[in-house]
Amino acid sequence: MNVEEALRDAMGAQVAGVHASPSIGQAVRRRRRRHQVRFRTAGAAAVTVAVAGAAPAYLTLQDATGHRGSPAPVGAAAPSAGPSAAVSGDDVAVPQIVVPNIVGVAVERARAMLEDAGLAVAFRKTVTPGVTPGTIVSQDPAAGAPAAPGSQVAAVIATTDRPSATPTPDPSGSRDEMPQDLGDLGDGRAFGGVHVGYLPKGLVWGEWSGKDGFGTHSYATSWVERGLEKTGLYSVEMVVYRGAAAGDLASRVKAARGTGTPVDLGGTTAYLVSEAEGNTTRAVLWTLRPGLGVEVMISPDYRAKLGEDAADAELREIAAHVTPAG
Partner 1 sequence: MTEEDEAAFDEFLAARSTALLRTAILVCGASTPDAEDMVQSALEKVYRHWPRIRHDNPEAYARRVVVNGAISRARRRKVLQEITFAHPPDTPVESPDVGLRQALLDELRRLPARMRAVLVLRYWEDMSEAETAAMLGCSVGTVKSQAARGLARVRARMGHMEGASA
Of residues 199 and 273, the one with the C-beta less far from partner 1:
273
The minimum distance between CB 103 and partner 1, in angstroms, equals: 23
Query: x/- contact string, 76-115, with partner 1 (CB under 8 A)?
Result: -------xx-xx---x--x---------------------
Report the sign of the C-alpha dihedral through residues 108, 26, 37, 248, in that order.
positive
Looking only at residues 280 through 299 of this chain, which bind partner 1 when binding is defined by CB under 8 A?
280, 299
ω into 324 cis (within 30 of 0): no
For the sheet with 136-140, list strands across it: 120-127, 152-159, 136-140
The minimum distance between CB 122 and partner 1, in angstroms, equals: 11
| β-strands 152-159, 120-127 pairing | parallel
- One DSSP character per residue, 268-322 reads SEEEEEEESGGG-EEEEEEEEETTEEEEEEE-HHHHHHH-HHHHHHHHHHHHHTE
Query: x/- contact string, 119-158, with partner 1 (CB under 8 A)?
Result: -----------------------------xxxxx------
**List 232, 262, 307, 326, residue binding partner 1 (CB under 8 A):** 232
If one asks whether residue 189 binds partner 1 (CB under 8 A), the answer comes out as no
The minimum distance between CB 112 and partner 1, in angstroms, equals: 22
| β-strands 218-225, 203-211 pairing | antiparallel
The Cα–Cα gap between 280 and 209 comes to: 23
The minimum distance between CB 104 and partner 1, in angstroms, equals: 27
If one asks whether residue 245 binds partner 1 (CB under 8 A), the answer comes out as yes
Query: x/- contact string, 46-65, with partner 1 (CB under 8 A)?
Result: x-------------------
Stretch that binds partner 1, among 50-58, 61-69, 155-163, 229-237 (CB under 8 A): 229-237
Q: Between helices 44-52 and 107-116, what is the axis angle to 10°?
A: 120
If one asks whether residue 4 binds partner 1 (CB under 8 A), the answer comes out as yes
H runs (alpha helix) in 36-193: 44-52, 107-116
If one asks whether residue 251 binds partner 1 (CB under 8 A), the answer comes out as yes
Residue 47 contacts residue 120 (beta carbons within 8 Å)? yes
Judged by CB under 8 A, how many residues of this single chain contact partner 1?
A: 68
